[in-house]
Amino acid sequence: MQSNPRIQQQLAAWVEENKGHVILGTTAQYIPELGKADPSKLGICMLDEDGNYYCAGDTDEKFTLQSISKALTFIALSCHYGLEFVLERVDVEPTGEAFNSIIPFEIHRPNKPFNPFINAGAITVSSLLPGRTSQKKYEYLLSFLEKLVGHPLEMDHDVYDSEWKSSHRNRALAYYLKEAGFLEIEVEEALDIYIRQCSIQVSTQDLALIGLIIAYDGYNPITEEKFFSEEIAQVAKVLMVTCGMYNSSGNFAAHVGIPAKSGVSGGIMAAVPPKLHSQTYEFRAGAGIGVYGPAIDVQGNSAAGTMMLRQISKEWDLSIF
Q: Which residues would be at the binding site for ligand DON (CB under 6 A)?
A: 66-67, 99-100, 119, 163, 170, 198, 246, 262-264, 300
The one catalytic residue in 264, 265, 291, 292 is 264
Least distance CB 67 / ligand DON (angstroms) = 3
Residue 292 marked in a binding site: no
Residue 170 marked in a binding site: yes
Least distance CB 198 / ligand DON (angstroms) = 4
> Which SS3 state, helix, strand or coil, does residue 261 take?
strand
Least distance CB 226 / ligand DON (angstroms) = 29
Query: What CA–CA distance (Å, rounded) separates 187 from 178?
Result: 7
Q: How far is CA 303 from CA 19, 20, 262, 291, in A?
A: 10, 10, 11, 11
Core vs surface per residue 146-176: b (16+ CB within 10 A) or e: eebbeeebebbeebbebbbebbeebbebbeb
In the residue annotation, 67 being an active-site residue is answered as: yes
Q: Return phi, psi of residue 270, to 5°.
A: -130, 145
Q: Return phi, psi of residue 273, to 5°.
A: -70, 155
Task: CB nearer to ligand DON: give 169 or 275.
Answer: 169
**Contact predicate 261/238, CB 8 Å:** no
Least distance CB 163 / ligand DON (angstroms) = 6
Residue 52 marked in a binding site: no
Query: What CA–CA distance (Å, rounded) separates 210 from 304?
Result: 21
Task: CB nearer to ligand DON: give 54 or 99.
Answer: 99
In the residue annotation, 160 being an active-site residue is answered as: no
In the residue annotation, 194 being an active-site residue is answered as: yes
In the residue annotation, 54 being an active-site residue is answered as: no
The one catalytic residue in 140, 160, 219, 246 is 246
Task: CB nearer to ligand DON: give 173 or 287.
Answer: 173
In the residue annotation, 246 being an active-site residue is answered as: yes
Residues whose CB is less than 8 angstroms from the CB of residue 82 and which lie 6 or more positions away in sequence, other chains included: none
Helices (H) and strands (E) in the chain, counts: 14, 9
* Annotated binding-site ranges for substrate: 67, 119, 163, 170, 194, 246, 264
Catalytic residues: 67, 70, 194, 246, 264
Binding residues: 67, 119, 163, 170, 194, 246, 264
